[in-house]
Amino acid sequence: MTDETTSRIPTFIREAVAKDLKNGRFNYIRTRLPPEPNGYLHIGHVKAFLIDYFTAQEFGGELYLRFDDTNPSKEETEFVDAIKEDAAWLGIEWAKETYASDYFDLLYDWAVKLVKLGLAYVDDQTQEEMSASRGTLPKGTKWSETESAIKPGIDSPYRNRSVEENLDLLERMKNGEFAEGSRVLRAKIDMSHPNLLMRDPVMYRIMNAHHHRTGDKWHIYPMYDWSHGQNDSMEGVTHSLCSNEYMIHRPLYEWFLQKLEAFPSRQIEFTRLNLTYAMMSKRKLRKLVETGVVRGWDDPRLTTLRGLRRRGVTPEAIINFVTGLGETKNDSYVEMAQFEAIIRDDLNKRALRRMAVLHPLKLVIDNYPEGQVEEMEAVNNPEDPSAGTRKVPFSKVLYIEQDDFRETPPPKYFRLFPGNEVRLRYAYFVKCTHIVKNEAGEATEVHCTYDPTTKGGDAPDGRKVKSTIHWVSAEHALPAEVRMYAQLFTVERPDDGELETIVNPNSLEALEGYVELSLANARVGEPLQFERTGYFTPDLDSTPEKPVFNLTVSLKDTWSKIEKKG
RNA sequence: UGGGGCAUGGUGCAACGGCAGCACACCGGCCUUUGGAGCCGUGGAUCUUGGUUCGAAUCCAGGUGCCCCAGCCA
């Protein structure tokens, strides 16, 4: 049974499914995940994937992964593999992998059945003719500036062909006897139906493209409406869960299955996920990749699953985010900040803490013995004692962040400035004595003295410092490239804008910094926190000589807020 | 003068005729060997007009606003 408090699927779906089980409409549950293999998965797909997966799971049913490969001109095997890999990474398990194309033969038989029933016909009209005879939507909708009222469609002159002629024509369409685009098979429903989809929708079109699985066997390929519901039914899918835009297709979905007297799969719709600053449009995503705005489909600035993975976002964070959104049928736009909060929450619990200096400034401890090296014990994760501790080498010359020193401190600035004492994390108290400047007047070296009695970070005399800063030992540090990311887009809803005007030219900044030696063999994808900076993960561009890190998400930075307010 | 869907703080959700609550964001404070985390607190919402009712975010009627639908895309 499902537990109301832990359910990960929308309430209205859970209730509908439970009811179907209770009143005997179905005695088992099967859902399907229907990606079209024409692109990479992004965060927008995840919601559908998870709802399908968890619905099956919560009701002890199973999930089929069915590739919707009905349009050979757009689909490629490359994407099939990528989608499977991404779905598996997310943790989704499917009972069976199928393809719409597995059912092409059966589907054709069903079409013949419909023709024999007098419910489908071959139409010889051109595409323009068909479009013109479909009728119009009324004024006020974005498609009609001129018509004041909805206009019914006009019956095709070929609508009343005999069953025999239709059967013959359909057979010949299948055999490749006709030119591409010259004829279609249409369902015979109602050309004046208020729902335009019911005005004799196209079932098959002629295409001579090579299909990634069926090769050159077929010359006709089914449309979405004449495939999806039929496949659901053929597979015994009980609940076909899809986004709200398909709501208008439901009457057609049901019409076909009723006329066919086929297994009555049920379509239920939910609101798709919209995320601010995330691009979901496949067309635009492709353009970003092809024009080199980003470095590939797995660019960490993208909200593709591959991009998120490379960025260091875990599957758990993604699942927590999506399932935690709750559900209504409202159109909605979720703020990226909410996603980031979940990512931080997830990483806070699991990321190993490390020290890394992103904008190095040399700090010299004048009274520290030349050549001495001490191993300081550092906690790996204060949120998780079982993560243990590590040793970090400490010596006379260190690097600290440029930001952690000001020659003339602003109000409420507690870090290093001449005369001020701070704690070097896990090491000693140091007090700034003087600085060395270059010709431009910039500080190039900060000189300090340390208090040997404060080893470990506490003063025996009980005095306090207001700030703790991080550091790496210059002699023992590892040079590293650290890639800092900002929003890729300058507008909240990039899907609505023109690419040329909405791309943030400063979304990537590659820093040359220094990191703890222990990071030399960090695993690609491993979650890390650079203390006081943010969450990072090693990128696959890393080499043994020079690791590369991606910023996953920054730590909440309250100082910058204080500073902004002045 | 078409059909379908949806309206609750800035954002996303909850309240299924009975005190409008949660998360994120925002603001203030406490604490802190991460200006992180954690803890405490403030402000802010039922699209509108009527009706039913002891009582309406919830039920009814009208209005308004937003979204989807004229691919031989999915």
User: Any idea how long chain A is?
Assistant: 566
CA distance A358 to A513: 4
Is A272 annotated as catalytic? yes
A413 touches strand B (CB under 7 A): yes
**Sign of torsion, CA A335 A338 A340 A343?**
negative
Residue pointed to by tokens 């010596």: A395
Bases of strand B lying below 7 A from some protein CB: 1-8, 10-16, 23-28, 33-38, 66-74
Element (H, E) at A220: strand A220-222
Q: What is the DSSP string of A381-400?
A: -TT-GGG-EEEEEE-SEEEE
Task: Specify burial of residue A5 (Cβ count, 10 A radius: 0-12, 13-18, 19+).
Answer: exposed
Are the CB atoms for A529 and A519 separated by under 8 Å?
Answer: no
Q: Which residues contact A509 (CB under 8 A, 6 or more apart)?
A: A483, A484, A486
Element (H, E) at A342: helix A336-350
pLDDT for A151 equals 82
Å between CA of A487 and C1' of B37: 25
CA distance A370 to A397: 9
Q: C1' nearest to CA of A532: which nucleotide?
A: B34
The number of CA neighbours under 13 Å toward the Cβ of A510 is: 8
Å between CA of A566 and C1' of B15: 42
pLDDT for A3 equals 42
A282 touches strand B (CB under 7 A): no
CA distance A151 to A241: 32
Is A30 annotated as catalytic? no
Catalytic one among A134, A159, A213, A282? A282
pLDDT for A4 equals 42
Å between CA of A245 and C1' of B65: 20
Residue A110 token pair: 């069903």
Q: Which residues contact A82 (CB under 8 A, 6 or more apart)?
A: A40, A41, A297, A306
Are the CB atoms for A321 and A308 separated by under 8 Å?
Answer: no
pLDDT for A1 equals 36
Residue A27 token pair: 């005695």
Catalytic one among A36, A340, A374, A407? A36
Å between CA of A287 and C1' of B66: 30
Å between CA of A326 and C1' of B8: 14
**Cβ < 7 Å from strand B, A residues 485-514:** none
Å between CA of A61 and C1' of B73: 31
A334 touches strand B (CB under 7 A): yes
Å between CA of A255 and C1' of B42: 56
A559 touches strand B (CB under 7 A): yes
Is A431 annotated as catalytic? no
Å between CA of A252 and C1' of B70: 16
Residue nearest to nucleotide B26 (CA to C1'): A561
**Cβ < 7 Å from strand B, A residues 206-245:** 206, 221-225, 227-228, 244-245
CB atoms within 10 A of CB A405: 22
Residues forming a β-bridge with A421: A431
**Cβ < 7 Å from strand B, A residues 145-204:** 148-150, 180-184, 194-197, 201-202
Task: Specify burial of residue A185 (Cβ count, 10 A radius: 0-12, 13-18, 19+).
Answer: buried
Å between CA of A28 and C1' of B73: 33
Q: C1' nearest to CA of A123: which nucleotide?
A: B72
The end-to-end CA distance of chain A, in Å, is: 56
Catalytic one among A74, A113, A151, A272? A272
**Sign of torsion, CA A556 A561 A564 A566?**
negative
Q: C1' nearest to CA of A150: which nucleotide?
A: B2
Å between CA of A272 and C1' of B51: 36
CA distance A162 to A185: 14
Q: C1' nearest to CA of A183: which nucleotide?
A: B72
Kindly compute the dihedral angle of the four CA atoms of residues A160, A161, A163, A168, in this order, to the nearest 10 degrees: -150
Residue nearest to nucleotide B38 (CA to C1'): A383
Residue A561 token pair: 């807020």
Q: C1' nearest to CA of A335: which nucleotide?
A: B11
Q: C1' nearest to CA of A564: which nucleotide?
A: B35
Q: What is the DSSP string of A233-268?
A: HHTT-SEEEEEGGGGGGHHHHHHHHHHHT----EEE
Give the amino acid at A95.
Answer: A
Are the CB atoms for A58 and A9 separated by under 8 Å?
Answer: yes
Closest by Cα among A180, A183, A186, A207 to A198: A186
Å between CA of A121 and C1' of B53: 57
Which residue intervals of A9-153 are DSSP H helices? 11-22, 43-58, 77-90, 104-116, 127-132
CA distance A118 to A504: 57
The tens-digit pLDDT sequence of chain A (566 residues) is 334 446 888 889 999 999 999 999 999 999 999 999 999 999 999 999 999 999 999 999 999 999 999 999 988 899 999 999 999 999 999 999 999 999 999 999 999 999 999 999 999 999 999 999 998 876 555 555 555 567 889 999 999 999 999 999 999 999 999 999 999 999 999 999 999 999 999 999 999 999 999 999 999 999 999 999 999 999 999 999 999 999 999 999 999 999 999 999 999 999 999 999 999 999 999 999 999 999 999 999 999 999 999 999 999 999 999 999 988 899 999 999 999 999 999 999 999 999 999 999 999 999 999 999 999 999 999 999 999 999 999 999 999 999 999 999 999 999 999 999 999 999 999 999 999 999 999 999 999 999 999 999 999 999 999 999 999 999 999 999 999 999 999 999 999 888 889 999 999 999 999 999 999 989 999 999 999 999 999 999 999 889 999 999 999 999 988 888 76
A414 touches strand B (CB under 7 A): yes
User: Long-range contact list for A306-310, CB < 8 A, 24+ apart?
Assistant: A306/A40, A306/A41, A306/A82, A306/A86, A308/A43, A309/A89, A309/A525, A310/A525, A310/A539, A310/A540, A310/A550
A467 touches strand B (CB under 7 A): yes
**Cβ < 7 Å from strand B, A residues 11-70:** 11, 15, 34, 36, 68, 70
Residue A177 token pair: 């006897």
Element (H, E) at A65: strand A62-67
pLDDT for A400 equals 98
Closest by Cα among A160, A171, A153, A152 to A123: A160
Backbone angles phi, psi at A434, to 5 degrees: -165, 175
Return the SS3 of A488: coil
A280 touches strand B (CB under 7 A): no
* DSSP conformation class of A211: B
pLDDT for A315 equals 98
Beta strands in A451-556 (DSSP E): 468-469, 472-473, 478-485, 508-515, 528-530, 534-538, 548-554
